[in-house]
Each structure stands twice: as C-alpha cells, then as structure tokens.
Structure 1
Amino acid sequence: MLRKLIFSGVFFFVATAGVFADQAAWIEKSEAYKAAEMINPGAVLRRYCPPCGDTVWTDVTIRQIKVKKTDTQSYQVFINEKGIDLAYTYIEKNGKWMNLAMLLGLKVSDVPEFLSDQKTSAPGNTGHPTDQFLEKCMAKDSTTLGMTDCVNKAYQRWDDELNKVYKQLRSVLNPDQKKSLKNAQLKWIKYRDSEFVLIENIYASFQGSMFTPMRAGDRMEIVKKRTLEI
C-alpha cells in the first residue's frame, strides 16, 4: 500500500492539495440539494470507501436527510446527522447500486461506478482467521476510528502468531539451525523498525483522516508477511 501511494502520485497530490480524503463531501449548493432529492427517507444507501480501507460495503438505513452549509461556503449532505462524502455513497437506481457523486457528474477517483450485489473479500484476504476477523470487524464499523481499531487489533493478532510460530519452528531445529533462525529474526526486526520509521515519515506528510487506518494497515502488512513466511 505504501509504495502504491508513492508511485501512483498520491503523495504529491495530498501534499499539495490536501483534499484526497474528501472528494465530494463539500460541494456546491445546487449539487447538495440535488443529491438530497435523490436519497429517499426509509430507503438504504451503501457506503464504500476503498481509499479508506473498506473491503466491503456497509448498508445504512436512511432516517433523516439534511443539507448544511459548511464554514468554507460550500454545502454538505447529512444522513442521520452525519456528513457524507458522495464519492463513497451508493444508491439503488434502475436495479443497480450506483455511485452518487458520479450520478451528479462530479469528478471522483479510486471508486467503482457500480457495486455488486455480492459482498466480496478484500484482495489481500488470504483466508487466514486474522484476515477473516479484520474483514468482519471493518464491516461492522466503517468509521475511521473503527477501521483503525480493527487494524490495530489485527496487527496484535499477527504479532502474537509470529511469536508463536517462531517458537514452534525453533523447537524442531538443531543448534546451528536455531542460531541461523535467531540471526535472521534479529535482522528482520531491524528491517521492520526501519520500515515503521519510513511509514511514519511518509504519512506525516499526508492530510486527511482516511490515512490513519491506511498507515496502521501498512504496519500490519509487514508483520503479517513475516508471519506467513516463517
């Protein structure tokens, strides 16, 4: 994820514009009211934000719809008293779940135009119990705080398993093999710590709450990879 961010140009975009997380949250008055008219109370919309780390969409039952003016003279749509980003909002239209921002003709990126009726696993899901835990956890709470908490819990699970499999492997090795394993693990720990510093330094330049779970996810992937390798 980290290298994809750098080489796809997101680093430059965020550092200069600082608005990647909120693609279509603060919009023009006419756009906000038109969006509100397309959302029906009592219906269901779907929230799906791949850049935020979402692996599956989340259903939201619409109880209340409001349009509010922001401090920047723009407007935002609120569903159930929570501001939404139209780029990550999908409504059912003509039997299809369509991206609301795209329906309004707004330019957004890194999101699909349509959602499938079937929830699918994340590309990085190996079928491992910790991957399954993370996917279910994030499906229950897709807020930035919720996703970050889920990733941190998954990180701890991978770290615990890494220690477990390391001890299991060590128990079946001869003295020379144990020495080699220890040296390799010590080198990996130095590599891990260096990668963590790199991640922190790069994400420090990013603006937007969406990068908090992404940063946690990059840290988790390093430990996950080692656990599956050892």
Structure 2
Amino acid sequence: MSGAPRPRRRQQARLRHLAALLLAALAVLAVPAVRADQFEYVQLPDAQAALRRLQIGSVVHVYCAACGETASRRMTVRSSGIARIWDDPRGATVYRSPEGRAYWTVEVNGRAIDLAYVYVRDGRRWRNLAAAVGLQPVEVPIVLPEAVTGRRWLCGDGRDDTEREVFNARRDPCQAGPER
C-alpha cells in the first residue's frame, strides 16, 4: 500500500512541470505582442495631443528599441493628421474595443505611426512622443539616448510602399515636392 501514492505523486509532479513549461512558453509568445503596436491606436484626446507636437517641417526620430534597432532614423514631418479606425475599410462601422471605446491613429506623411516609437524635439533632447502626451510606453527609452541617435533619413510616404534611407546627410535629403 505504501507504493501506490508514489506513482501518483510523480504524475502530479510531472503535470505541474508540464504546466510550468506551458506557462513559460505562453509568456515567451506574448512578449512580441506587448512590444509591437503599443500606441498605434489611441483615443481621440491622445491623438490630438500628439498631433500638436508634430509640427509641419519639424524633424522626428523613429526608433524601436524593443525591435532590436541599433539607431534611429530621422524623418521630416511633411504632413500630419489623425484618422479614425474602422472595423472594415469599406464600411461605415467604427472599430470599438470590447470596452466600447473608439480609436484613432496618428499619421505622418500619410503613414500611421506608433507613438511609442517616435521621438520629438524637447529642448536639447529627443523625447518619446507617447510619454510626451501622457501615455506610458513599455520597453522604450523615454529620452532617445545619444548613442542611438542616427543620421539616416527615412524618405517615402504612405501612398507608396517605398521607404528609402539616406545615410549621413546633415540636412533632409528627401525630395520635398508637393503631395502626390
């Protein structure tokens, strides 16, 4: 009789071990979801506050530390705006979260941006745009470290999928023509 509980204990220990492994695997799979698209969809007051920080002609830095980028890319704000998020791009139904909230996206040069990965000038430093409007991004520096402040320029707009980078130009080398 003393031998019967031992196999049961081993089986329970194995199940606990398997459950711990499963939880660890799920945690690893969930990490990329936390890092990506933190503040691409925001509520209207946050979108409006971000838009006020994105002046036409100003330069911003695009940098995703969580994505493994080693240097930021500069981009001149040629156009900016906000757009509502729709359930279906062809329909008129506004996307709503399970809590019933409607969301907006901020666009720079015709392309939606994630506020957590854009840095705006704040005196002599580059401040995270999400943090600047009162949001709390995770795994991103609040102030862009000088060591990762890149000299590459990000050109292109949202109407075409061509983004090209220009290296080491002191001023904006991107073509500044009228909107297409």
Q: Does 1:65 align with 2:83?
A: no
Aligned equivalents of 1:43, 1:110: Cα separation in 2:
25
Identical-residue share of aligned pairs (%): 29
Task: Give CA-to-partner distance per residue, 1:145-190, whole Å, 9 cap, x none.
Answer: 99xxxxxxxxxxxxxxxxxxxxxxxxxxxxxxxxxxxxxxxxxxxx
Asked whether the equivalents of residues 79 and 108 of structure 2 are also in contact (C-alpha less than 8 Å), the reply is yes
TM-score (norm 2): 0.58
Residue 15 of structure 2 corresponds to none
**What SS class does the counterpart of residue 105 from structure 1 fall into?**
coil
Structure with greater helix share of residues: 1
Q: Does 1:75 align with 2:97?
A: no
Aligned equivalents of 1:88, 1:40: Cα separation in 2:
17
1:36 to 51, 58, 64: 51
**What SS class does the counterpart of residue 90 from structure 1 fall into?**
strand
**What SS class does the counterpart of residue 51 from structure 1 fall into?**
coil
Q: Does 1:11 align with 2:29?
A: yes
Aligned equivalents of 1:47, 1:120: Cα separation in 2:
10
- How many residue pairs match? The answer is 122
Of the two, which has the highest radius of gyration?
Answer: 2
Residue 144 of structure 2 corresponds to 115
Aligned equivalents of 1:80, 1:99: Cα separation in 2:
19
Structure with greater strand share of residues: 2
**What SS class does the counterpart of residue 50 from structure 1 fall into?**
coil
Query: What one-letter code is carried by the residue in structure 2 that aligns with 1:90?
Result: Y
CA RMSD of aligned residues (A): 3.2
Aligned equivalents of 1:111, 1:10: Cα separation in 2:
19
Aligned equivalents of 2:67, 2:46: Cα separation in 1:
23
User: Structure 1: where are the runs of 5+ without partners?
Assistant: 1-5, 122-135, 147-230
- In the TM superposition, residue 115 of structure 1 has moved relative to its aligned partner by 1.2
Cα distance change, pair 141–62 in 1 and its aligned pair in 2 (3 A): closer
Query: What one-letter code is carried by the residue in structure 2 that aligns with 1:46?
Result: H
**What SS class does the counterpart of residue 32 from structure 1 fall into?**
helix
Aligned equivalents of 1:98, 1:77: Cα separation in 2:
17
User: Structure 2: where are the runs of 5+ without partners?
Assistant: 1-23, 87-94, 96-101, 156-160, 163-180
Aligned equivalents of 1:57, 1:13: Cα separation in 2:
22
Query: What one-letter code is carried by the residue in structure 2 that aligns with 1:42?
Result: G
**What SS class does the counterpart of residue 66 from structure 2 fall into?**
helix
- In the TM superposition, residue 46 of structure 1 has moved relative to its aligned partner by 0.3
- In the TM superposition, residue 63 of structure 1 has moved relative to its aligned partner by 0.3
**What SS class does the counterpart of residue 75 from structure 2 fall into?**
strand
TM-score (norm 1): 0.46
Asked whether the equivalents of residues 74 and 154 of structure 2 are also in contact (C-alpha less than 8 Å), the reply is no
Q: Does 1:56 align with 2:85?
A: no
**What SS class does the counterpart of residue 78 from structure 1 fall into?**
strand
Q: Does 1:98 align with 2:127?
A: yes
**What SS class does the counterpart of residue 31 from structure 1 fall into?**
helix
- In the TM superposition, residue 50 of structure 1 has moved relative to its aligned partner by 1.7
